[in-house]
Amino acid sequence: MPTEAFFKLEEDKKRVLLQSAICEFSQLPYDKVSVFKIAKNAEISRSAFYYYFKDKEDIYQHITGLVFEKMAGQLKEAKENHDLFTLSLEVFTQAAKLKGTEWEALGQQLIANMKPADAAKLLRQVEECAAQSYVSYLKGGLENLKISSETDFLELSFLLISSVLYALRLYLMEGESFSSAKDKLESMFEMIKHGVVK
C-alpha cells in the first residue's frame, strides 16, 4: 500500500512514478526489476521512492491492484447474478481486452510472474472486492451447485481462477486465438462441472 505521502503527490508526479514502474514490470520478470531503475526513470531519488512505497513488492501490489480495479469496473457493468462459471468466463473476456492496449505487456508479465500463492492472493482480492460491492453478485447462482460450505466455494473459485489464468496465458502470451483459448476454458469448466469419470 502506498504511503500517505504518495497520495499527496501532484497527479503528474504520481503518474510518472507509476508509469515508470509499469514500464519496468512490463519488460522484466519480477525478480529482475530494480527499485533504482524505477526511481531513475521517474526522475526521483531511490530514497524518495522509499518515501512513497515500502519496497518493490509494495508498488507491484499497487499496480496489480490497478489492473484488477480496471477489470472489476468492467465486471461491475456486467449483468448481475451470474453463476460462478459465467462470471469466470466474463473475467477471462474482460482480461483478454488488455490485448492491444498499453496494459498488455504488464498483463503478460503478471501472468508470467504468477505463482500458486499469487492465485490465492488474487482470490482474496476478489473476495475483498465482493465485500466492497464491486462484484457483490460473485456468490450468486450457487443454488445450482453442490456447495455446502465457504471452503467449497473458495476451492471452486481457486480452480476457476487458475483455469482463467491458463486461458489468458494461451491468448496473451502463446499466440492462441481468443476463440480457441475461450473454447479450452469452457471445456475445463465443463470438466469441473461434470467431472471426467463415467
Q: Which residues contact 12 (CB under 8 A, 6 or more apart)?
A: none
Global confidence as pTM: 0.70
Residue type present at position 192: I
Cα separation, 139 vs 179, in Å, equals 27
What is the separation of C-alpha 67 from the centre of its chain, rounded to a whole number of angstroms? 6
Nearest to 21 by CA among 62, 50, 51: 62
| Strand positions, DSSP E, the chain | none
Instruction: Write down the pLDDT at residue 110.
Output: 81
Instruction: Write down the pLDDT at residue 89.
Output: 86
Q: What is the tens place of the pLDDT at every residue in 82-95?
A: 567 887 888 888 88
Cβ(181)–Cβ(164) below 8 Å: no
Instruction: Write down the pLDDT at residue 134.
Output: 37
Residue 8: CB atoms within 10 A of its CB come to 9
Nearest to 188 by CA among 150, 154, 170, 162: 162
**HSE toward the beta carbon, residue 102, CA cutoff 13 A:** 6
What are the DSSP calls for 154-177, one per residue? HHHHHHHHHHHHHHHIIIIIS---
Cα separation, 123 vs 155, in Å, equals 10
Q: What's the length of the chain?
A: 198
Place of cell 483455469: 163
Which grid cell sits at 151? 471452503
pLDDT below 70 — which residues of the chain? Answer: 70-83, 115-151, 198
